[in-house]
Chain A
Amino acid sequence: MTINAQQDEYVADFEFLENWEQRYEYIIDVGAKLPPMEETYKTPDNIIKGCQSTVWLHGELKDDRVYFAADSNTQIIKGVVAMFVFVFSGHTPKEILDADIYFVEKIGLQKFLSGNRSNGLVAMLKQIKLYALAFQAKTLQQ
């Protein structure tokens, strides 16, 4: 699935959710679908700063595509980081860097996460783009 196809899917799904309970349930469910992150990746270096809770994010380059693994000790934040993983994982560094991330705003992700966590959203996105940037530099060198 392309980055935008995954974004569109989230946007379309959210249009059907009627209330906050359903939206939170949806996000928590997405988090539950995230493949378990290997404990060896849960290093201090992989913790995203700017999040009140602990969020780990790790990226790997395989066959010129970036694959992300993530986890969090909170269910809601785990769901949010999972959405990013599902949107970005399996794409090339260039695709990730060029991506226009519109689903966050369209579904109002930052609105129903309290203020402090919006910084966390920005930090997660930034970390994903940084991984892509680093891997792009690496592929260009080869």
Chain B
Amino acid sequence: MADTTAHAAPVEHTSTGLPSTKLAMWLFLASECLLFGALITTYVLYRGASTTGPYPNQIFDIRYTSVSSFVLLASSLTMVLALTAAEQRDFARMRLWLVATAMLGLTFVGGQVYEFTSFYHEGLSIKSNLFGTTFYVLTGFHGVHVTVGILMLLSLVGMSWAGRLPDDQAFPVEMVGLYWHFVDIVWIVIFTVVYLIPQPKPAG
């Protein structure tokens, strides 16, 4: 069984006294903050500036998006439970929680694909108006990040199953977890700014 894995991870000695991988992950997340900060700023800048429809009030379904938000929140919980299991060296349970997290992520992305498709059928494309452009770019970038996270989670499960992770499996789980929670906090902001805050009257 893959639970007894091949080799122990060497303890890293660095000038900072901190693992470089973790430091690099936080630096990467800081740069991601700037990326999403720019995208959210652009969305807010052009709120209510569209001169043609469809407008947000005509197409948003807050109840539907709320369910997606709950799904993503639940995935953050399953992610930390996977980390706890890894720290307890219960790798079978860790893989179970990781698969649950990936499935919840897939549900979220599936919901987003459905939402985009229905918006498109209602006449909102990326070229329709300023709202369409900023909305699809912002939420699309977030969706791509969730998809990358799902791939990372499934890779982790596969590598753990094949015994290709170092003995200390908690560390890679923590790194992927940091990325996953970051995607969650970005959604917390997007959900409020894009969906919940009432839209101004159309410019046209």
A binds B: no
Which A positions have Cβ atoms within 8 angstroms of B?
none
